[in-house]
Amino acid sequence: MEQSIKPSTGENFLYVAIRYKAAIISALVLVIAIGVGSFFWMQHQKTSEQEAALKLSRISPLLDQGDFQTAIYGQSKVPGLKKIAAEYAGKFTGTPSGNMANLLLANAWYSLGEFDSALNVFKNVSTANNDLAAAALAGAGDCYFNKNQFAPAAESYQDASKKADNSVLKALYLTHAANSFQQSNQFKKAAELYTKIIADYPGTTGAAVAQRSLWQISGNL
């Protein structure tokens, strides 16, 4: 009886390489293409960030002067926040300066009292920085508050508090949420939140504000 001879590991590899040569070559080409694509993508992002940062630096003086209209739309050969954000902001393809331009655009609209425009932008701000993301949520809360929509305002402020890393900001956003409840005459909810702020964030500005506000609504409980 003839004994079967098992091929060696090297022979097996050679067999696979010959039989599936086309598939292996295709896979290698794909891996190389992804690597090259990633390299060029990173280079593109780096260049885009430099461009966005430069354009944003030209808008900063206008924001410092309170010239929000010009900051939004730009002037002469200087693009405004609206154009910078449109070109460089985005959840997946945006650059840090482009996403910052989006946040500043929302703030500029808010400063002009254009709460609907500001709200639309605040809700679309994308950033990896938790405190900046929280600021956008709080900005949306401010817009809702100024539109007398206190329920969504309170929700946005609470979301901002959860998102923020900074404990001072967490407390501050919660005071805004509590104030939203207070403005809609939900004094019990407001008092509960003020009490939580005092307990969880002692020594912060938010705790001091919460204590004063709690005294003010004590007669309504």
- 90-110, pLDDT tens digit by residue? 766 678 888 888 999 999 999
137 plus 59 within the same structural domain? no
Span between the terminal Cα atoms of the chain, in Å: 98
**Residue whose entry in the numeric block shows the structure tokens 């300066």:** 97
Residue 217 included in any domain: yes
Contact between 213 and 190 under an 8 Å Cβ cutoff? The reply is yes
135 plus 213 within the same structural domain? yes
H and E: helices and strands count for the chain: 11, 2
Residue 117 included in any domain: no
| DSSP codes of every residue in 157-186 | HHHHHHH-S-HHHHHHHHHHHHHHHHHTT-
Contact between 161 and 193 under an 8 Å Cβ cutoff? The reply is no
Distances (CA, A) of 25 to 13, 17, 33, 38: 15, 10, 12, 20
pLDDT, tens only, 112-162: 999 999 999 999 988 888 998 999 999 999 999 999 999 999 999 999 999
pLDDT over 70, % of the chain: 77
Mean pLDDT of 53-76: 91
Q: Which domain covers residue 180, as residue numbers?
A: 129-221
Distances (CA, A) of 121 to 15, 112, 117, 118, 188: 59, 14, 7, 5, 33
The reported pLDDT for the residue numbered 30 is 52
Mean pLDDT of 40-57: 73
Q: Where are the alpha helices (DSSP H) in 20-94?
A: 21-65, 68-73, 81-88
Residue 58: Cβ within 10 Å count: 16
CA distance 211 to 191: 10
Residue 123 included in any domain: no
Backbone angles phi, psi at 76, to 5 degrees: 50, -120
Q: If you ran DSSP here, which 8-state letter would residue 204 be given?
A: S
Residue 114 included in any domain: no
Lowest mean pLDDT among 32-46, 55-69, 145-159: 32-46
The reported pLDDT for the residue numbered 35 is 52
Using only C-alpha atoms, the chain has a radius of gyration, in whole angstroms, of: 27
Domain count, the chain: 2
The reported pLDDT for the residue numbered 22 is 53
17 plus 86 within the same structural domain? yes
CA distance 171 to 21: 62
Q: If you ran DSSP here, which 8-state letter would residue 128 be given?
A: S
Residue 206 included in any domain: yes
Query: Could you say which of 78, 95, 112 is where a domain stops?
Result: 95
CA distance 189 to 158: 13
Query: Could you say which of 50, 73, 95 is where a domain stops?
Result: 95
Contact between 50 and 41 under an 8 Å Cβ cutoff? The reply is no
Q: If you ran DSSP here, which 8-state letter would residue 7 be given?
A: P
**The model's pTM:** 0.77
